Amino acid sequence: MEPVVIPAILAKSREELLQRISQVNGLVKEIQLDIMDGEFVPNKTVGLEDLVSVPALQNSKYEFHWMVKEPEKWIEKVPGPHLHLVHIETIRSFVAIENAVKKSGGRLGLAINPDTPLERLIPFVPKAQRILIMTVRPGFSGQKYIVEMEKKIRALRDKFPRMDIEVDGGVNLETVRGAYAAGANILAAASAIFSSDDTKAAIERLRQSALGGNPA
C-alpha cells in the first residue's frame, strides 16, 4: 500500500480550526480533526457547536478522532460521510456506536491507546473500515513517538493484510519510516506539517520519507 499523509488538527477555538483547515484544504484526501472532551483525555478542544458547520472540503473528507467519553452522543450530531475513529477504551455498547455512525451517514474506524492490549481490539476489527494505533498517549500534540508501538502495527498487519492502518502521534520525517515499514499505510501528522511555512511541501516530504526517499 502506498503511504497516505493526513494532517491532524488539534484546535481549541473555532478560529484556529478554520485557519488550520484552510491551510490544507485541497492538498490531501482526508483531514483529521482531533476532538477532546477533557474527560477521556486531560485536554479539551473545540466542541460540538464548532463542528456542526465545518466548511466543505475540496475533493477531501473529514476524519473525526473522538477522544471523548460516550462518543456515540457526539457522532450522531455530526452528519455526513465522515470517518469516525472511536477509541476502543470508550466503548460501552458497540451496537450503540454502530447505530450512531449509521445514523450520521458516516463510516466507522477504531482507535487503540499505547497501553491497551491489541487483543482487546481484535474481535471488532472486521467491523471497522480503519484502525488507528496511537503512537503517543492521547491528549497533547508534540509528544515523542513510542517506537515500541511498531510491534503492535506489525501484529495487526499480519492478521489483517488489507486493512487500512493509521498511526497518530509523534509522526515526523524520522519516525514516519518505521511506522510505514511496520505496516501503517496512513500517517497522521500535526507539528511536522503545521510548523512548516509550506504545508504542501511538508506533506510531500513526509510521504517521500515514508518511502525511504530523501526528506530534505
Cell of 180: 510505514
User: Are the CB atoms for 136 and 169 separated by under 8 Å?
Assistant: yes
User: Are the CB atoms for 161 and 131 separated by under 8 Å?
Assistant: no
Among 164, 168, 197, 198, the active-site one is 168
User: Are the CB atoms for 7 and 32 separated by under 8 Å?
Assistant: yes
115 is catalytic: no
Among 34, 50, 158, 197, the active-site one is 34
34 is catalytic: yes
The count of other CB atoms within 10 Å of the CB of residue 130 is: 21
Q: What is the DSSP string of 166-182?
A: EEESS--TTHHHHHHHH
**Alpha-carbon span 163 to 155, nearest angstrom:** 12
Active site residues: 34, 168
